[in-house]
């Protein structure tokens, strides 16, 4: 090691920025993933004015109203519930606290449409079919399905917070409540906002749950226009509205954060949970377990009872016979989607990291699919792939549309954002000096990536994989439209049964989805305990 | 609910999954095709077993004469021998598997199918273009068949068997699609609370039904086709008035006919518009189900009837087999196909099941069926304009 | 510049009520008395250094005084009993090792966090004064992460001083800083406290820091205060072997009158040849420091003025006590 080497190594990252192949690679990968979304957005180049006029005169105002209402209620609800519960399990010691801490994540494994139809049917009796189909109940169900995103991120933020900050606030005259409000909460705000943004995306793109409750959102309107009139263009334009809304949301969150950075450096004492009195122990347990009951326990009990009914009528035997096949299909689809998303996520993040802000923007463009409802992604993918198929670009004459490759591609377009965020956040935590150090020891970039960066971001990768797997497992519209023959996932089974209101027959696959989903949820928890980051 | 019924293919796939974590399922033909022995088809003739899709079909024994039963005419006489696998996009969700099993047993042709909403499948078919793996489309509704035909995704079928079995008004003028069963969309009412149900669709909008009506949302093709039939009979302006009068009754929208029946039974509403065959399913479970059918427009054009249409795709890899399937469904398989879901036969010579016959005879508005596709966009417009949810 | 610390002010302080008086503070966690009956008094304008090994309970004591931890005993602030008051009403300032600046707030917002009830104008003036006090004018608009480590710690002190508390508790405030920064910051902290006439308790595990900065030094071990006195007294006349060894190198020789006498390295001289052996030596500029194994197996540290002839490692030698003062005698 000579003196000169070190100086050179510090410019290593920048020097590579000029290399052409890297740029070609990042643009190519991003272009492939962004293509279906681009196809959709390109539709606004041929505006269909008369459809818009008609929409505006009829349904669009209602759609916008419902979408905004749902968005506000679910995001606010998820934020309050997720943040409150996160603080509860971080700061207070009460019996069953650890178990509750895990149980509160479990709804992640519960698809919104399953939660929706179970509660719809359960409340239909007492409330009546009319009042059960309301935007408020829909919002409640979506809140129960999505609050874990906020909960997980807020909990991580609270857990890593310095207890000293709270102590100082107290010494400066804040009551415990004021200290929480003025210090603890604002310090966790970026994480909470990131969780809320995830929830917002899920709400914007949900099509399964809203239909159960007769709620006409814009995402639902996209399908309405597309499949009702066959007017692909008008539907795509409507979808572009959604993408715009998502981009605005993300921009607003970034803008709000401004220059402030929320990480605290150095060693620190973290918040130590304190024992609470008898009264507050009871209160905390009741609140926490009620949420678990509403979001997990009651639906599960209900589903299990339906399975019992199905057994009693003999329907269950045939269903259980089919279970293996659907289970394998679900595992296959979720597994491939996860591996693909993470591989591409790592590639993009790794390439983008060496290419400054422009590279980051290029990579981000590839993740826009997260803001597009599943069916729209599916049709964008079909259009893009059909073009490829027509030109016969795929060697061997194999076809992409209707193939597993096509399905996985579509799921990647939809969920790449999830893995990319996690990978990017993990990579950002790898100190540049470590990489510089490796380079001075003679390691080529590939070796640095495989020997230094990958091992360092392992936990982050695991968390990202788990999140993608959870999403892919629950995903319905894309799988429904693009699955190859013989690949009927559990979600497809649920859809087939519920589209005719055969709740009893939907119970077995619904339970299987939840059970299967618990695996990545457990992995996610494990990774988060080890400090994995899931958002930037 | 398996698509592929023969056990060896399932096994092959699971093995493939285990070995390679599941590449696109592709059972190798030839080596493992012997378990179709259950098929009672008389002779086996090895044929092309590799489809243009790259999927590999079972090398199935085929029939030289594709109509093994004696009582039906031999519809495909003179047609090229069909074999292999027929691939179906199906917009119907339930009760089709046993029918396909019977078809395979009768002809030796394997069926694989993918189900989905009619509109989604239609869009997928159009996007796939000449590369589609689908041979046959079975819709739950006429409009979607006509819309697919309009987009050039279907091929005309020359078949004497079909044209003789299916009445003219139940198939497209250019033989692009054939109605394989009839489904009546009627007024249903609570037998406990209603003695004089509406006798026309327009009467559902009568103010006496304020807050007492259940309807299916406008996103569903059934609703759209019903409104299209009203437009055809009474004009767009009057149709808008009628739909508006429904909306004025503050209907409860339920996106499932089964739930609509249950809602009427539970007292959530007193009358509703729904398809008849759901009552068949419910009466199988509970013979005293307290909901009855009123066929509307019996003094005029007749009750709205839609069809479950069958069509061959424009780029079908196996059009011969596709044609055989449609012919079989229209003839030998007609009874089973129709009864599997308590529907009305398309072939007037085929009797209805006892269950269905008990609902009574009715006049059907079949003349409009060919127009449903054409009028669909107008119907969607009318529904939007009336504020129908 | 670290020798600025003088004791004159302490001597001049009027003998009125102490700034802070802790009586019989006791805190039991999991059956163990982490703080075991501590009495401690901080005089007006005094900087009391509280030193002890890690885990001796000094941070817990601090938290108990601040009201952040429930504890038995009494805390009097300028004679007023605040034991029953929650932390936010005690008016005790806090500065932590990890500065604990609020990362979402700008410097000025951090500084005015505790003085919200002042008028806008008064707060602006306060910010300016506080930044002057800690010698960081012009940084009001920065965010904490845009400051260096030393700057962050200065702002943390200024923030604690903003509400003009009678006492500030400093919990290892220099531990995260590098040596040069630490020196300048130490003197600036002392200066700022003096200028504001604010009393302080400085918790540290660094004996040099304690001796250098404390007007008085309290040595703590296992939840108890062993000794409180002026730095030189604690260093020269420790109450026991632990205090003696904790505050600096010390060897103990039997005293003719019983007990042992404490010998600091500068009380020893080393000559070549003899029963003892040199194990190591370090050059410290003004002195040579020797590590020596004595013939009886004990080890001692001796310091000889620079310029004396070096005895190499491994060579034999003789250690002698050459103190020009009476050696301090400890009872065993």
Assess whether B47 and B149 both reside in one domain. yes
**DSSP of B141-194:** SHHHHHHHHHTT-EE----HHHHHHS-GGGB-TTSSEEEEEEEEEEEEEETTT-
pLDDT at B66: 39
pLDDT at C321: 86
Contact between A162 and C98 using a beta-carbon 8 Å cutoff: yes
* Segments of chain C scoring below 50 in pLDDT: 1-14
**DSSP bridge partners of C93:** C168
Q: Is B210 a member of any domain?
A: yes
Written as six digits, the tokens of A211 are: 């239909």
Q: Is B243 on the interface with A (CB under 8 A)?
A: no
Written as six digits, the tokens of A125 are: 């009796």
pLDDT at A427: 81
d(CA C41, CA A160): 35
Could you tell me which of B44, B192, B25 has the C-alpha nearest to residue A486? Answer: B25
Contact between B130 and A487 using a beta-carbon 8 Å cutoff: no
Burial class (CB in 10 A: 0-12, 13-18, 19+), A225: buried
What angle do helix axes B372-386 and A49-57 make, rounded to 10 degrees?
50
The per-residue pLDDT for range B52-70, each reduced to its tens digit, is 333 333 333 333 333 333 3
Written as six digits, the tokens of C62 are: 């601090």
Written as six digits, the tokens of B221 are: 């093709």
Hey, which chains touch B, using 3+ CB pairs under 8 Å?
A
Contact between C98 and A170 using a beta-carbon 8 Å cutoff: no
Hey, which chains touch C, using 3+ CB pairs under 8 Å?
A
Q: Kindly list the residues from chain A whose CB atom is less than 8 angstroms away from the CB atom of residue C169.
A: 171
Residue A244, SS3 per DSSP: helix
Whether complex ipTM tops 0.90: no
Could you tell me which of A361, A411, A481, A477 has the C-alpha nearest to residue A33? Answer: A411
pLDDT at A260: 59
Contact between A172 and C97 using a beta-carbon 8 Å cutoff: no
pLDDT at A460: 84
Assess whether B233 and B91 both reside in one domain. no
Architecture of the domain made up of A47-265+276-312: Orthogonal Bundle (1.10)
Instruction: Considering only the beta carbons, identify the residue of A168, A178, A264 that sits closest to C103.
Output: A264
Assess whether B160 and B236 both reside in one domain. no
Contact between A227 and B14 using a beta-carbon 8 Å cutoff: no
Could you tell me which of B180, B33, B164 has the C-alpha nearest to residue B110? Answer: B33
Number of inter-chain CB pairs under 8 A, A vs C:
101
* Segments of chain A scoring below 70 in pLDDT: 1-19, 256-277, 314-321, 392-399, 401, 531-536
DSSP 8-state symbol, C307 = T
| A168 min Cα distance to partner chain B (Å) | 55
**DSSP bridge partners of C305:** C287
Q: How far is CA B361 from CA A492, B141, B150, B188, B303, in A?
A: 37, 22, 34, 15, 11
Count other C-beta atoms under 10 Å from residue C36's C-beta: 17
Q: Is B38 a member of any domain?
A: no
CATH fold, domain C250-330, is OB fold (Dihydrolipoamide Acetyltransferase, E2P) (2.40.50)
Q: Which domain holds residue B67?
A: 7-33+43-182+306-345
Assess whether B239 and B335 both reside in one domain. no
Q: In the Cβ-directed half-sphere of C126, how many Cα atoms lie within 13 Å?
A: 25
| C187 min Cα distance to partner chain A (Å) | 23
Written as six digits, the tokens of C269 are: 């001289």
Q: Which uninterrupted H or E stretch holds A37?
A: helix A20-42
Q: Kindly list the residues from chain C whose CB atom is less than 8 angstroms away from the CB atom of residue A169.
A: 102, 113
Contact between B123 and A214 using a beta-carbon 8 Å cutoff: no
Count other C-beta atoms under 10 Å from residue A236's C-beta: 25
Q: Kindly list the residues from chain B whose CB atom is less than 8 angstroms away from the CB atom of residue A483.
A: 114
Number of inter-chain CB pairs under 8 A, A vs B:
162
Find, in chain A, the residue whose alpha carbon is nearest to that of B128.
Answer: A386
pLDDT at A226: 76
Assess whether B71 and B124 both reside in one domain. yes
CA angle A171, A174, A177 (to 5 degrees): 130
Contact between C102 and A265 using a beta-carbon 8 Å cutoff: no
Enumerate residues 267 to 326 of chain A having a beta carbon within 8 A of any beta carbon in chain C. 267-269
Distance of CA A222 to the CA centre of its chain: 21
Contact between B114 and A483 using a beta-carbon 8 Å cutoff: yes
Paired sense of beta strands C92-96 and C167-171, if any: parallel
Could you tell me which of A143, A364, A79 has the C-alpha nearest to residue A250? Answer: A364
Contact between B127 and A405 using a beta-carbon 8 Å cutoff: no
d(CA C302, CA C249): 9
d(CA C48, CA A99): 46
Please state the CATH superfamily assignment of the domain spanning residues C2-91+165-243 in this structure: P-loop containing nucleotide triphosphate hydrolases (3.40.50.300)
Assess whether B148 and B292 both reside in one domain. no
Q: Kindly list the residues from chain C whose CB atom is less than 8 angstroms away from the CB atom of residue A175.
A: 86, 88
| B87 min Cα distance to partner chain A (Å) | 9
pLDDT at A407: 92
For chain A, domain boundaries: 13-40+319-536, 47-265+276-312
Contact between C100 and A259 using a beta-carbon 8 Å cutoff: no
Q: Which uninterrupted H or E stretch holds A454?
A: helix A454-456
Count other C-beta atoms under 10 Å from residue A501's C-beta: 23
DSSP 8-state symbol, C207 = H
d(CA C207, CA C117): 40
pLDDT at A393: 62
Enumerate residues 259 to 318 of chain B having a beta carbon within 8 A of any beta carbon in chain A. 259, 262-263, 266, 268-269
Assess whether B301 and B313 both reside in one domain. no
Contact between A167 and C66 using a beta-carbon 8 Å cutoff: yes
The per-residue pLDDT for range A387-397, each reduced to its tens digit, is 777 776 665 55
What angle do helix axes A315-353 and A404-428 make, rounded to 10 degrees?
50
Q: Which distant-in-sequence residues (6+ apart) come within 8 Å of B303 by Cβ?
A: B184, B185, B186, B295, B296, B297, B362, B363, B364, B365
Q: What is chain A's alpha carbon radius of gyration, rounded to the nearest angstrom? A: 24
Q: Tens-digit pLDDT profile for chain B (389 aa)?
A: 334 344 444 333 333 333 333 333 333 333 333 333 333 333 333 333 333 333 333 333 333 333 333 333 444 444 445 678 999 999 876 678 889 999 999 999 999 888 877 887 888 888 777 778 899 999 988 888 988 998 899 999 999 999 999 999 999 989 999 999 999 999 999 999 999 999 999 999 999 999 999 999 988 889 999 999 999 999 999 999 999 999 999 999 988 888 899 889 988 899 999 999 888 888 888 889 999 999 999 999 999 999 999 999 999 999 999 999 999 999 999 999 998 888 899 998 999 888 888 888 899 998 889 888 889 889 988 998 898 98
Residue C22, SS3 per DSSP: strand
Instruction: Considering only the beta carbons, identify the residue of A175, A176, A189 that sits closest to C104.
Output: A189
Q: Is B111 a member of any domain?
A: yes
| B380 min Cα distance to partner chain A (Å) | 7
pLDDT at A277: 66
Q: Kindly list the residues from chain B whose CB atom is less than 8 angstroms away from the CB atom of residue A324.
A: 14
Assess whether B191 and B168 both reside in one domain. no
Top-level class of domain A13-40+319-536: mainly alpha
Mean pLDDT across chain C: 87
d(CA A440, CA A364): 31
Burial class (CB in 10 A: 0-12, 13-18, 19+), A142: buried
Assess whether B325 and B246 both reside in one domain. no
Written as six digits, the tokens of C151 are: 């700057």
Q: Is A233 on the interface with B (CB under 8 A)?
A: no
The per-residue pLDDT for range A349-372, each reduced to its tens digit, is 888 877 777 887 888 888 888 888
Q: In the Cβ-directed half-sphere of C202, how many Cα atoms lie within 13 Å?
A: 29
Whether there are 3 or more C-beta pairs closer than 8 Å between C and B is no
**Which residue in B1, B183, B210, B263 has the most chain A C-beta atoms within 10 A of its own C-beta, making it the best mutation to test that interface?**
B1
Q: Kindly list the residues from chain C whose CB atom is less than 8 angstroms away from the CB atom of residue A171.
A: 66, 68, 87-88, 90, 92-94, 114, 160, 165, 169
Q: Is B76 a member of any domain?
A: yes
Q: In the Cβ-directed half-sphere of B143, how many Cα atoms lie within 13 Å?
A: 27
Assess whether B236 and B296 both reside in one domain. yes
Q: Are A430 and A393 in contact (CB under 8 A)?
A: no
Q: Is C198 on the interface with A (CB under 8 A)?
A: no
For chain C, domain boundaries: 2-91+165-243, 250-330
Torsion sign across C-alpha atoms A462, A467, A468, A473: positive
Assess whether B49 and B128 both reside in one domain. yes
Q: What is the CATH number of the domain that holds B269?
A: 3.40.190.10
Q: What is chain C's alpha carbon radius of gyration, rounded to the nearest angstrom? A: 23
Find, in chain B, the residue whose alpha carbon is nearest to that of A487.
Answer: B25
Instruction: Considering only the beta carbons, identify the residue of A170, A174, A261 that sits closest to C103.
Output: A261
pLDDT at A10: 38
Q: Which of left, alpha, beta for A96 (phi over 0: left; psi -120 to 50: alpha)?
A: left
pTM over 0.90: no
Burial class (CB in 10 A: 0-12, 13-18, 19+), B31: exposed
| A264 min Cα distance to partner chain C (Å) | 7
Find, in chain B, the residue whose alpha carbon is nearest to that of A383.
Answer: B127
First to last CA, chain B: 32
């Amino acid at each position: 090691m000579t003196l000169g080497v070190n100086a050179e190594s510090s410019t290593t990252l920048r020097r590579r920025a000029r290399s052409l192949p890297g740029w070609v690679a990042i643009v190519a990968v991003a272009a492939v993933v962004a293509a279906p979304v681009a196809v959709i957005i390109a539709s606004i180049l041929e505006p269909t004015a008369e459809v818009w006029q008609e929409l505006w005169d009829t349904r669009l105002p209602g759609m916008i109203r419902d979408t905004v209402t749902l968005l506000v209620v679910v995001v606010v609800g998820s934020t309050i519930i997720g943040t409150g519960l996160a603080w509860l399990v971080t700061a207070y010691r009460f019996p069953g606290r650890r178990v509750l801490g895990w149980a509160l994540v479990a709804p992640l494994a519960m698809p919104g449409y399953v939660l929706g139809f179970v509660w719809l049917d359960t409340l239909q009796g007492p409330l009546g079919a009319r009042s059960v189909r309301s935007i408020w109940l829909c919002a409640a169900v979506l809140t129960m399905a999505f609050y874990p995103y906020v909960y997980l991120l807020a909990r991580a933020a609270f857990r890593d917070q310095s207890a000293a900050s709270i102590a100082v606030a107290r010494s400066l005259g804040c009551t415990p409540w004021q200290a929480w409000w003025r210090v603890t909460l604002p310090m966790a705000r970026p994480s909470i906002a990131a969780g809320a943004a995830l929830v917002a995306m899920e709400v914007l793109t949900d099509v399964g749950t809203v239909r159960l409750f007769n709620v006409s959102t814009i995402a639902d309107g996209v399908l309405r226009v597309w499949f009702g009139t066959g007017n692909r263009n008008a539907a795509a334009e409507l979808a572009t509205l959604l993408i715009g809304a998502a981009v605005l949301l993300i921009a607003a969150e970034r803008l709000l954060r401004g220059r402030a950075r929320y990480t605290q450096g150095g060693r620190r004492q973290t918040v130590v949970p304190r024992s609470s009195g008898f009264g507050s122990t009871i209160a905390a347990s009741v609140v926490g377990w009620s949420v678990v009951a509403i979001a997990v326990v009651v639906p599960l009990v209900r589903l299990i009872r339906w399975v019992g009914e199905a057994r009693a009528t003999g329907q269950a035997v045939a269903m259980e016979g089919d279970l293996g096949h659907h289970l394998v299909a679900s595992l296959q689809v979720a597994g491939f989607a996860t591996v693909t998303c993470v591989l591409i996520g790592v590639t993009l993040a790794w390439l983008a990291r060496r290419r400054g802000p422009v590279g980051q923007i290029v990579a981000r463009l590839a993740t826009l699919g997260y803001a597009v409802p599943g069916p729209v992604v599916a049709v964008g993918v079909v259009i893009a792939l059909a073009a490829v198929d027509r030109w016969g670009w795929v060697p061997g004459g194999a076809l992409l549309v209707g193939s597993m490759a096509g399905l996985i591609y579509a799921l990647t377009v939809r969920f790449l954002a999830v893995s990319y965020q996690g990978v990017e956040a993990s990579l950002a935590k790898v100190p540049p000096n470590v990489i510089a150090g490796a380079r001075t020891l003679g390691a080529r970039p590939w070796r640095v990536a495989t020997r230094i960066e990958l091992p360092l971001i392992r936990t982050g990768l695991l968390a990202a994989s788990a999140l993608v797997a959870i999403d892919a497992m629950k995903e319905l519209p894309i799988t429904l439209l693009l699955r190859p023959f013989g690949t009927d996932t559990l979600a497809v089974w649920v859809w087939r049964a519920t589209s005719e209101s055969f709740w009893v027959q939907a119970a077995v696959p619904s339970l299987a989805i939840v059970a299967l989903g618990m695996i990545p949820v457990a992995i996610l928890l494990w990774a988060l305990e080890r400090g994995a980051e899931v958002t930037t | 609910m398996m698509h592929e019924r023969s056990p060896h293919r399932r096994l092959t796939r699971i093995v493939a999954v285990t070995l390679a974590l599941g590449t696109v399922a592709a059972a190798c033909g030839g080596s493992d095709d012997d378990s179709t022995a259950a098929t009672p088809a008389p002779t086996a003739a090895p044929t092309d077993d590799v489809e243009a899709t790259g999927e590999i079909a079972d090398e199935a024994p085929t029939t030289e004469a594709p109509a093994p039963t004696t009582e039906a005419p031999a519809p495909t006489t003179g047609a090229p021998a069909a074999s292999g696998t027929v691939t179906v996009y199906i917009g119907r969700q339930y009760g089709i598997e046993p029918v396909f099993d019977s078809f395979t047993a009768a002809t030796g042709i394997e069926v694989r199918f993918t189900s989905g909403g009619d509109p989604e499948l239609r869009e997928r078919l159009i996007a796939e273009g000449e590369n589609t793996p689908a041979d046959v489309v079975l819709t739950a509704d006429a409009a979607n068949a006509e819309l697919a035909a309009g987009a050039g995704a279907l091929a005309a079928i020359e078949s004497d068997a079909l044209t003789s079995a299916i009445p003219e008004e139940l198939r497209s003028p250019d033989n692009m699609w054939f109605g394989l069963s009839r489904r009546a969309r009627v007024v249903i009412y609570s037998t406990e609370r209603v003695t004089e149900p509406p006798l026309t669709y327009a009467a559902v909008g009568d103010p006496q039904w304020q807050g007492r009506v259940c309807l299916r949302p406008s996103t569903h093709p059934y609703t759209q086709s019903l409104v299209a039939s009203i437009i055809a009979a009474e004009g767009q302006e009057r149709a808008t008035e009628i739909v508006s009068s429904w909306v004025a009754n503050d209907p409860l929208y339920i996106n499932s006919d089964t739930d609509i029946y249950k809602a009427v039974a539970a007292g959530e509403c007193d009358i509703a518009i729904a398809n008849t065959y759901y009552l068949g399913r419910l009466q199988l479970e509970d013979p005293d189900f307290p909901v009855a059918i009123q066929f509307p427009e019996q003094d005029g054009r007749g009750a709205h009837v839609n069809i479950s249409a069958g069509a061959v795709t424009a780029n079908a890899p196996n059009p011969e087999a596709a044609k055989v399937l449609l012919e079989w469904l229209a003839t030998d398989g007609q009874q089973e196909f129709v009864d599997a879901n308590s529907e009305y036969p398309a072939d007037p010579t085929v009797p209805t099941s006892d269950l269905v016959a008990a609902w009574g005879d009715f006049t059907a508005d079949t003349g409009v069926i060919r127009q449903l596709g054409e009028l669909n966009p107008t119907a969607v417009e009318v529904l939007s304009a009336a504020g129908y949810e | 510049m670290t020798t600025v610390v003088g004791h004159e002010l302490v001597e001049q302080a009027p003998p009125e009520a102490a700034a802070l008086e802790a009586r019989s503070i006791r805190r039991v966690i999991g059956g163990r008395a982490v703080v075991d009956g501590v009495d401690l008094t901080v005089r007006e304008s005094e900087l009391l250094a509280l030193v002890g090994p890690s885990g001796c309970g000094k941070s817990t004591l601090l938290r108990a005084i601040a009201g952040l931890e429930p504890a038995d005993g009494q805390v009097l602030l300028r004679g007023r009993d605040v034991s029953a008051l929650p932390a936010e009403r005690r008016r005790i300032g806090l500065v932590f090792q990890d500065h604990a600046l609020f990362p979402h707030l700008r410097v000025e917002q951090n500084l005015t966090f505790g003085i919200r009830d002042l008028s806008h104008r008064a707060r602006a003036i306060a910010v300016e004064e506080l930044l002057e006090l800690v010698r960081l004018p012009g940084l009001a608009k920065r965010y904490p992460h845009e400051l260096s480590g030393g700057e962050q710690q200065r702002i943390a002190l200024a923030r604690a001083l903003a509400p003009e508390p009678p006492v500030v508790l400093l919990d290892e405030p220099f531990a995260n800083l590098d040596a040069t920064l630490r020196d300048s910051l130490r003197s600036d902290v002392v200066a700022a406290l003096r200028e504001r006439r604010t009393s302080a308790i400085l918790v540290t595990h660094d004996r040099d820091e304690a001796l250098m900065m404390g007007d008085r030094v309290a040595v703590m071990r296992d939840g108890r205060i062993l000794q409180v006195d002026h730095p030189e007294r604690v260093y020269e006349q420790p109450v026991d072997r632990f205090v003696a060894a904790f505050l600096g190198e010390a060897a103990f020789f039997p005293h003719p009158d019983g007990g042992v006498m404490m010998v600091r390295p500068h009380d020893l001289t080393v000559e070549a040849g003899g029963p003892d052996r040199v194990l190591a030596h370090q050059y410290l500029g003004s002195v040579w420091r020797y590590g020596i194994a004595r013939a009886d197996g004990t080890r001692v540290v001796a310091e000889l003025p620079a310029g004396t002839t070096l005895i190499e490692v491994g060579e034999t030698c003789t250690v002698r006590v050459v103190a020009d003062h009476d050696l301090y005698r400890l009872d065993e």
